[in-house]
Structures are given as structure tokens and as C-alpha cells.
Amino acid sequence: MIATRLLPRLSAAKPAASAFASSSRLPTSSRAFSSSAISLANTLLYLEHRKGTLNPSSLVALTAAKKVGGDIHAFVAGDEGVKDVADKASKVEGVSKIFTSESPKYKGLHSEPIVPVLKSLVEKNSYTHVFAGHTAIGKDVIPRLAALLDVSQVSDIIAVESEDTFQRPIYAGNAIATVKSSDKIKIITVRGTAFDKAAEEGGSASIEEVSDAEAADAPTTFVEEKINQSSRPDLATAPRVVSGGRALKSADGFKKYIEPLADQLNAAVGASRAAVDAGYADNALQVGQTGKIIAPELYVAVGISGAIQHLAGMKDAKTISAINKDPDAPIFQVADVGLVADLYEAVPEMMEKLKK
Ligand SMILES: Cc1cc2nc3c(=O)[nH]c(=O)nc-3n(C[C@H](O)[C@H](O)[C@H](O)COP(=O)(O)OP(=O)(O)OC[C@H]3O[C@@H](n4cnc5c(N)ncnc54)[C@H](O)[C@@H]3O)c2cc1C
């Protein structure tokens, strides 16, 4: 069961611009209250990985888990390479034990076979908390676990106030809810931009294998995965992002103006939902409430109005720069640097200047 309270500071109706007036990050708790009180928490972290690499969102979730305090164990499952991932994870600072489970049943990392094993671990070890990244996989695995354990999930947290109280954004990030869970087991996903990643060195966790015997025979079968191959940096983690909006008018316009600018800045490419819906850019590039939530060092918004749902995905960028021909476009209310100009003139000019 959870109780929710809105932060008074943000619960009053405010124009979008003032709610996002600063480009600073959403408030995150840097207070490690566990240092002043003995924590009775006992946490299991669900570790995501791909091709032998730990997902950064799991390392972010670990930082949030550390704020709760207590002992932290991790669980890694997969159909191959699990040992290598566990070896890497054992060096991550703050984890004392890694449980591993490797089985062909986990191909595709679907939640159906993984969650019964997770549930059994949680019950056997009496974990008080389960943490995971708020990623596509986290959003698949964690709600199923919460349902099987018959507890409420607290999703997409951005701050830890205490062992049972967390903050999470609501209304596309325009208000922050403080959520207190009275459930015996707190099941939590963590926003990938809200905490720093835990250090990948300095730990020495033990590794223990668990059987896949509990893995359910899943009603779904993994068929194939198609991943967009791109030589550009990954949108979710790139330090620089250049995004285009509806103003690009076509897929060709997007290719001609956004992609070369991104390449010149060694940046990832992003897009507004309007650009994605119109077919100018791939769905995987969408930034915003229903797309990716990112916090790069530099975010360049080209021909994007700055609708609240778009801001929800990029307002934590350290520096926001915008090109828009409308001086009243809302994007300028969050931009650190704004250029009121026609993108079809400004982008080629920028490219020329960047070449020098
Ligand atoms: C539930 C929900 C979820 C949503 N989720 C998302 C989301 O995740 N991400 C997202 O982006 N949107 C999302 N949206 C949509 C959002 O509300 C906006 O419709 C969308 O962001 C608008 O995209 P845009 O800025 O590219 O287009 P527009 O709003 O049409 O803006 C285009 C901008 O380009 C400027 N422009 C035009 N021509 C030029 C030119 N030649 N040079 C320079 N500037 C020019 C215009 O002045 C204008 O500001 C969501 C909406 C809903 C209801």
C-alpha cells in the first residue's frame, strides 16, 4: 500500500515555464541517512546487461539503493555470458553478493521465466527492498514481481527520503510526489538520470549460482530482436544530443540538417514525438514523456516548440540550446542559449563555423 503527498512547492498550478525555469536537475536526495541510523534494509538489485556489459541504469539504481542503506545483493540472469557479467558486477562498489542464473529459458530476458526465480530469492532471503532501473526491461520485470509478491510498486523514483519514502515525478515532471510505502517489501524502479552511477571498481562481492528450476515455462517465446545499428553515440547515455522537430518537414530534411550537425558535434540524434509520428525519425529516437528521458551535457533542440511532454525528457540536460524561428516558443524558457532563426539558414551556418 502506498500513500502519496505532493510537494507544496510544486503542487500549486504554475505555468510550465516557471516549473522548468532552471536547467538544474530535479531535486535528488544526497542525504545518506543510513549513516546516522542503523538501517535494517536488506536489498536485492536486479542487474541488467547486454552483450556482457552492465546497463548504466542498474548502476544508477544501485546508487539509489545505497541511500536506503543496509546490505545489497544483486541478481543477474541471462541465456549466456552471465558469468562474465557477474565477474564485472562483483567489482562494483556497494554490492556484497551476486546471485546468477544462466539458462536458455531466459533468452530475450522476458519477465515470465525470470520473475519466479527473483520472487523465490526475495522470499528466501527476506529482502526488504528490490531496486531496478526504470528501463524497458525494468518496466517488464518489476511490476510482475510486485504483483506476485502482492505489494505496490513505487516507479521511476528520483530521490530517496528514507527506507520507505521516495520522490517521483508526476504530470510529466511538473510536480513531484512524495510516496510512502507501508508494504513489507518495497519494489522500486529508479529514473536513470536522477542519481550518479555507482563506481564500477572497488567492490569484491561473492558470486553464488541459483538454479533455473523455478523459471516458469513462459507462455511467450522469444523470436528475434532487431536493433538499429548506428555508429552514432547511444541516445540514452550520449553526452551530447542534437534533436529535430516537426519543422524539419520530412525524413530527408531530418537527414540533411539534423544528422550532419549531430555527427559534427559527435552527438546522438534525438527527435520530438511530432517528428517521429510524421515518420521523419525512428521511434527509438523520441525524447520525452513517452520516449527517452535523458540528461546529456549538451542538448540542441532544432525546430522543436518545447511542449511540456518533450521537456519531461530533456530538461535535466546541463546546457540546453535551441534554434526556433518563433521567439515565443516555450523551448526558450528552458534554453540556456537560444537562437531565434530559420533553421534552414542557421544549421548550415553553424556547420560552416564548426568546421573552422
Ligand atoms: C500523452 C502525450 C505524450 C507525449 N509525449 C511526447 C514525447 O515523449 N515527446 C515529445 O516530443 N512530444 C510528446 N508529446 C507531443 C507534444 O505535446 C508535442 O505535440 C510535440 O512535442 C511537438 O513536437 P514539435 O515541437 O516537433 O512540433 P511543434 O509543436 O509543431 O513545433 C515545431 C516548432 O518548430 C518551429 N519552426 C517551424 N519552422 C521552423 C524553421 N524553419 N526554423 C526554426 N524553427 C521552426 C515552430 O516555431 C515550432 O515551435 C506527447 C503528447 C501527449 C498528449
Place of cell 518533450: 310
Beta-strand runs (E) in 2-86: 2-6, 42-46, 49-50, 53-54, 71-78
CATH number of 335's domain = 3.40.50.1220
Name the residue of 248, 289, 343 whose CB sits within 8 Å of the most ligand 1 atoms, as the mutation to test its pocket: 289
Same domain, yes or no, for 59 and 173?
A: yes
Burial state string for 200-233 with b = 16 or more CB within 10 A and e = fewer than 16: eeebebebeebebebbeebeeeeeeeeeeeeebb
Same domain, yes or no, for 107 and 180?
A: yes
**Is 54 a domain residue?**
yes
What's the confidence (pLDDT) of residue 15?
34
Distance 275 CA to ligand 1 centre (A): 8
Same domain, yes or no, for 169 and 272?
A: no
Ligand 1 binding pocket includes 313 (Cβ within 6 Å):
yes
Question: Binding residue per annotation — 50?
Answer: no
Mean pLDDT of 18-22: 31
What's the confidence (pLDDT) of residue 30?
38
Same domain, yes or no, for 263 and 164?
A: no
Burial of 274 (0-12, 13-18, 19+ CB in 10 A): buried
**DSSP SS3 for 99:** strand
Per residue in 78-136, pLDDT tens? 999 999 999 999 999 999 999 999 999 998 888 999 999 999 999 999 999 999 999 98
Radius of gyration of the chain (CA): 21
Give the bridge partners for 2, in sequence order. 181
Same domain, yes or no, for 86 and 46?
A: yes
Report which ligand 1 atom has the smallest distance to the Cα of 272: 11
**Is 229 a domain residue?**
no
**Is 332 a domain residue?**
yes
Same domain, yes or no, for 115 and 206?
A: yes
Question: Binding residue per annotation — 24?
Answer: no
**Is 231 a domain residue?**
no
Ligand 1 binding pocket includes 283 (Cβ within 6 Å):
no
Are 70 and 42 in contact by the 8 Å Cβ rule? The answer is yes
The domain tally of the chain equals: 2
Q: Which range of residues forms the domain containing residue 326?
A: 240-355
What's the confidence (pLDDT) of residue 173?
82
CATH number of 44's domain = 3.40.50.620
- Amino acid making up residue 278: A
- Amino acid making up residue 45: L
* Separation CA 145–CA 114 (nearest Å): 9
* Separation CA 200–CA 177 (nearest Å): 31
Same domain, yes or no, for 156 and 290?
A: no
Per residue in 26-75, pLDDT tens? 343 333 444 445 668 899 999 999 888 899 999 999 999 999 999 999 99
Domain final position from 214, 230, 254: 214
Domain final position from 214, 231, 263: 214
**Is 233 a domain residue?**
no
* Separation CA 103–CA 107 (nearest Å): 8
What's the confidence (pLDDT) of residue 27?
40
Name the residue of 20, 235, 250, 290 whose CB sits within 8 Å of the most ligand 1 atoms, as the mutation to test its pocket: 290
Distance 82 CA to ligand 1 centre (A): 42
Of the candidate ranges 17-21, 68-72, 137-141, the one whose mean pLDDT is the lowest: 17-21
**DSSP SS3 for 66:** helix
Ligand 1 binding pocket includes 243 (Cβ within 6 Å):
no
Axis crossing angle, helix 136-149 with helix 111-124, rounded to the nearest 10:
50
Element (H, E) at 265: none
**Nearest CA, atom 7, ligand 1:** 288
**Is it the case that residue 230 has pLDDT exceeding 90?**
no
Same domain, yes or no, for 21 and 76?
A: yes
**Nearest CA, atom 27, ligand 1:** 246
CA atoms within 13 A on the CB side of 189: 22
Same domain, yes or no, for 283 and 208?
A: no
Q: How many CB atoms lie within 10 A of CB 79?
A: 15
**Is 225 a domain residue?**
no
Distance 306 CA to ligand 1 centre (A): 6
Same domain, yes or no, for 209 and 283?
A: no
Higher-confidence residue: 185 or 3? Answer: 185
Ligand 1 binding pocket includes 294 (Cβ within 6 Å):
no
Same domain, yes or no, for 102 and 208?
A: yes
**Is 155 a domain residue?**
yes
Higher-confidence residue: 25 or 254? Answer: 254
Same domain, yes or no, for 9 and 115?
A: yes
Report which ligand 1 atom has the smallest distance to the Cα of 306: 25
Of the candidate ranges 13-27, 209-223, 238-252, 274-288, the one whose mean pLDDT is the lowest: 13-27
**Is it the case that residue 11 has pLDDT exceeding 60?**
no
* Separation CA 107–CA 349 (nearest Å): 48
The alpha carbon dihedral of 254, 292, 138, 101 has a sign of positive
* Separation CA 101–CA 86 (nearest Å): 10
Q: How confident is the model at residue 356 (pLDDT cuts 50, 70, 90)?
A: confident
Domain final position from 171, 199, 214: 214
**Percent of all residues in the chain with a pLDDT value above 70, rounded to a whole number:** 89
Question: pTM of the full predicted structure?
Answer: 0.80
What's the confidence (pLDDT) of residue 216?
74
How many residues does the structure list for the chain? 356
Mean pLDDT of 233-254: 95
**Is 96 a domain residue?**
yes
